[in-house]
């Protein structure tokens, strides 16, 4: 992508690549900024537009359909995303109307679609003449039907809260590295840097920022003073309760946030094996630990198969399985899940989750504890998965999950976006008798 693209043109092209071409939002945006130079302000605006279009695509696409005389041809689909970028500004941002229209129209020329300027200009100006009438019959939930139906079946009384939360910008949460600062000390450092923040009541190391900022603006970030991590993910270290001298396995560890948190809690004085099936993601894991000056034995391995990594002689004291899942609990942070995930994926994910549970249970020592967790809100991946595991596994015993605010289920506990001040996660603690 050329460096001269203005923010709207860049956002339209990135959105097209993510939604139509199936590319990862995080990877696509990160790669773009690695190869193109933009000011911090422009970078922030491009990200806002890309996340916004991905988050509100269903609504924006329906509004666009009422404005266009005929659909944009497939070979010119990037123009459709120029229109969505314009509509997102007019519907969800406080962008001045003249700037929202003029700068968006100019994106057509930059994308070599000069012919589309009149189309985009006409659509946006027609929208401004009667926005409420144009969007009167538009479905505003902006979720694929299968996702809203699946969540509604699982949590009918909380459906509207969950869908609304999924469409909101998530708070920026930090995990304070207690090896370097207490939380109160770091809150004082943030205040001194002019960054408004407050302690997270749900976890002892968590901090909420009043407004998101670049990690480069966080005092001591490069030196490991803190990490970006949602509350729900931080709670895993609380539940696992690792003590010095224990042997620990983090079975699906990349990019390394939970591994790092466990090591920070134990002052880097435990033996921990961190696995991931992807070599690229293992490199991310190395980078995470290097920044925080932590150490673990990292292996590229499939944890659902016979171990290709060295096992402790007597088994592990603690095993963490942050299982591959649908991700339907973290849509607010990863809105491209709406576009990439399919209902047919769940069957394969269930098999993977069951394989991880069965295989890794063999390597947990008697009396040891396993934490199974997902960032899903679907029972099939969560309590139903665990119920089946317990039914087929001798010596698997449920233990109480001391979670500060989650919903208590027959098997484990669940947090839900909109109901709890965190992402949607499932947790279950199992002990080997």
The pLDDT of residue 134: 86
Is residue 400 a contact partner of residue 146, using CB atoms and an 8 Å limit? no
Between β-strands 271-276 and 297-300, what pairing exists: parallel, antiparallel or unpaired? parallel
Q: Which fold has domain 7-134?
A: N-utilizing Substance Protein B Homolog; Chain A (1.10.940)
The pLDDT of residue 1: 43
Q: Which fold has domain 173-228?
A: Alpha-Beta Plaits (3.30.70)
HEC assignment per residue over the chain: CCCCCCHHHHHHHHHHHHHCCCCCHHHHHHHHHHHCCCCHHHHHHHHHHHHHHHHCHHHHHHHHHHHCCCCCCHHHHHHHHHHHHHHHHHHHCCCCHHHHHHHHHHHHHHCCCHHHHHHHHHHHHHHHHCHHHHCCCCCCCCCCHHHHHHHHHHCHHHHHHHHHHHCCCCCCEEEECCCCCCHHHHHHHHHHCCCCEEECCCCCCEEEECCCCCHHHCCCCCCCCEEECCHHHHHHHHHHCCCCCCEEEECCCCCCHHHHHHHHHCCCCCEEEEEECCHHHHHHHHHHHHHCCCCCEEEECCCCCCCCCCCCCCCEEEEEEECCCCCCCCCCCCCCHHHHCCCCHHHHHHHHHHHHHHHHHCCEEEEEEEEEEECCCCHHHCHHHHHHHHHHCCCEEEECCCCCCCEECCCCEECCECCECCCCCEEEEEEEC
Start-end ranges of CATH 3.30.70.1170 in the chain? Answer: 173-228
Start-end ranges of CATH 3.40.50.150 in the chain? Answer: 231-432
pTM of the model: 0.94
The pLDDT of residue 4: 76
Q: 375 catalytic, yes or no?
A: yes
The pLDDT of residue 2: 47
Which tokens is 140 given?
A: 């505003």
Q: Note down pLDDT in tens along the chain; length 433 residues.
A: 445 799 999 999 999 999 999 999 999 999 999 999 999 999 999 999 999 999 999 999 999 999 999 999 999 999 999 999 999 999 999 999 999 999 999 999 999 999 999 999 999 999 999 998 888 878 789 999 999 999 999 999 999 999 999 999 999 999 999 999 999 999 999 999 999 999 999 999 999 999 999 999 999 999 999 999 999 999 999 999 999 999 999 999 999 999 999 999 999 999 999 999 999 999 999 999 999 999 999 999 999 999 999 999 999 999 999 999 999 999 999 999 999 999 999 999 999 999 999 999 999 999 999 999 999 999 999 999 999 999 999 999 999 998 888 999 999 999 999 999 899 999 999 999 9
- Contacts of residue 5, defined as CB under 8 A and 6 or more positions apart, other chains included, come to 13, 36, 107, 110, 111
If one looks up domain 231-432 in CATH, what number appears? 3.40.50.150
Annotated active-site residue in 173, 252, 325, 375:
375
Start-end ranges of CATH 1.10.940.10 in the chain? Answer: 7-134
Rounded-to-integer distance, Cα 34 and Cα 229, Å: 22
């Amino acid at each position: 992508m050329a460096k001269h693209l203005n923010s709207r043109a860049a956002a339209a092209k990135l959105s097209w690549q993510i939604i139509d071409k199936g590319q990862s939002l995080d990877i696509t945006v990160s790669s773009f900024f690695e190869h193109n130079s933009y000011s911090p302000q422009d970078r922030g605006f491009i990200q806002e537009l890309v996340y916004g279009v991905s988050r509100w695509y269903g609504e924006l696409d329906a509004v666009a359909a009422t404005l266009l005389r005929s659909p944009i041809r497939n070979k010119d689909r990037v123009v459709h995303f120029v229109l969505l970028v314009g509509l997102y500004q007019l519907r969800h941002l406080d962008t001045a109307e003249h700037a929202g229209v003029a700068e968006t129209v100019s994106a057509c020329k930059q994308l070599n679609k000069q012919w589309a300027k009149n189309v985009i200009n006409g659509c946006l100006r027609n929208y401004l003449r009667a926005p409420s009438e144009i969007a009167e019959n538009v479905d505003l939930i902006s979720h694929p039907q299968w996702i809203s139906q699946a969540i509604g079946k699982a949590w009918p009384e909380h459906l509207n809260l969950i869908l609304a939360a999924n469409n909101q910008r998530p708070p920026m949460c930090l995990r304070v590295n207690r090896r370097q600062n207490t939380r109160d000390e770091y809150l004082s450092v943030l205040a001194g840097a002019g960054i408004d923040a407050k302690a997270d009541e749900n976890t002892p190391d968590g901090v909420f920022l009043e407004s998101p900022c670049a990690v480069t603006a966080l005092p001591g970030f490069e030196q490991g003073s803190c990490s970006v991590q949602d509350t729900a993910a931080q709670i895993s270290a609380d539940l696992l309760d690792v003590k010095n001298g224990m042997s620990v396995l983090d079975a699906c560890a990349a990019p390394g946030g939970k591994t790092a948190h466990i090591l920070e809690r134990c002052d880097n004085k435990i033996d921990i094996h961190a696995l991931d099936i992807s070599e690229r993601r293992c490199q991310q894991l190395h980078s995470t630990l290097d920044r925080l000056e932590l150490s673990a034995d990292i292996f590229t391995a499939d944890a659902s198969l016979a171990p290709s990594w060295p096992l402790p002689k007597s088994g592990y004291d603690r095993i963490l399985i942050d299982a591959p899942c649908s991700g339907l609990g973290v849509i607010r942070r990863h809105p491209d899940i709406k576009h990439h995930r399919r209902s047919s994926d769940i069957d394969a994910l269930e098999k993977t989750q069951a394989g991880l549970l069965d295989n890794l249970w063999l390597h947990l020592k008697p009396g040891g504890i396993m934490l199974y967790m997902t960032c899903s809100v679907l029972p099939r991946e969560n309590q139903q998965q665990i119920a089946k595991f317990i039914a087929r596994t001798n010596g698997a015993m449920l233990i109480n999950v001391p979670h500060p605010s989650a919903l208590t289920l027959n098997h484990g506990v669940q947090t839900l976006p909109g109901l709890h001040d965190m992402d949607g996660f499932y947790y279950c603690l199992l002990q080997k008798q």
